[in-house]
Structure 1
Amino acid sequence: MTALLIEPDEGPRQALRAFLHQAQYHFDVATTFAEGAARLAGQPYDFVLLAQALPDGDGLNLLPVALRHEHHFTSCILFTATDAVEERLRGFALGADECLPKPISVAELERRMRVIVRQRVGLQRPAIHFGSGFVLDLAARRLCHNSQPVHLSRKQFDVLHLLLLRRGQAVTRQELGAHIGRHPHNHQENSNYIDVHIMNVRRALAPYAPADFLETVNGVGYRAA
Structure 2
Amino acid sequence: MEVLLVEAEARPRQQLHRFLQRAQYGVDIATTMAEATACLDRRPYDFVLLAQDLPDGDGLDLICLATRHEAHPTSCIVFTATPDVEPRLRGFALGADECLAKPVSVAELERRMRVIIRQRVGHKRPAIHFGPGFVLDLAARRLCHQGQYVHLSRMQFDVLHHLLSHRGQVLTREQLGAYISRRPVAALESSNFIDVHIMNVRRALAPYAPTDFLETVNGVGYRAA
TM-score by length of 1: 0.94
Match of 1:174, as an amino acid?
E
Contact 2:6–2:29 (CA under 8 A) maintained in structure 1: yes
CA deviations over 1:58-107 (Å, ceiling 9, x no partner) = 10110000010012221111111101111111111111111111111111
* In 2, Cα distance between equivalents of 1:163 and 1:190: 20
Residues 41 and 203 of structure 1: is their aligned pair in 2 closer, same or farther, counting only changes over 3 Å?
A: same
Deviation at 1:211, TM superposition (A): 3.7
Contact 1:184–1:190 (CA under 8 A) maintained in structure 2: no
Match of 1:16, as an amino acid?
L
Deviation at 1:164, TM superposition (A): 1.0
Deviation at 1:7, TM superposition (A): 0.4
Match of 2:202, as an amino acid?
R
Contact 1:168–1:223 (CA under 8 A) maintained in structure 2: yes
Consecutive unaligned residues of structure 1, counting only runs of 5 or more, are none
Deviation at 1:162, TM superposition (A): 1.0
**Greater mean deviation of Cα atoms: 209-218 or 182-191:** 182-191
* In 1, Cα distance between equivalents of 2:219 and 2:124: 31
Match of 1:206, as an amino acid?
A
Deviation at 1:190, TM superposition (A): 4.6
* In 2, Cα distance between equivalents of 1:144 and 1:170: 25
Contact 2:178–2:185 (CA under 8 A) maintained in structure 1: no
Residues 123 and 169 of structure 1: is their aligned pair in 2 closer, same or farther, counting only changes over 3 Å?
A: farther
Give the match for residue 45 of structure 2. Answer: 45
Residues 124 and 180 of structure 1: is their aligned pair in 2 closer, same or farther, counting only changes over 3 Å?
A: farther
Residues 213 and 223 of structure 1: is their aligned pair in 2 closer, same or farther, counting only changes over 3 Å?
A: same
Report the aligned-residue RMSD: 1.6
* In 2, Cα distance between equivalents of 1:49 and 1:187: 22
Match of 2:223, as an amino acid?
R
Match of 1:172, as an amino acid?
T
Q: How does 1:1-225 map to 2 (within 5 A)?
A: 1-183=1-183, 186=186, 189-225=189-225
| Percent of aligned pairs sharing the same letter | 73
Consecutive unaligned residues of structure 2, counting only runs of 5 or more, are none
CA deviations over 1:172-221 (Å, ceiling 9, x no partner) = 22222222234357387353111100000000101222443100122221
Contact 1:173–1:190 (CA under 8 A) maintained in structure 2: no
TM-score by length of 2: 0.94
Match of 2:93, as an amino acid?
A
Residues 87 and 101 of structure 1: is their aligned pair in 2 closer, same or farther, counting only changes over 3 Å?
A: same
* In 1, Cα distance between equivalents of 2:187 and 2:195: 12
Contact 1:78–1:96 (CA under 8 A) maintained in structure 2: yes
Q: Secondary structure at the match of 1:186?
A: helix
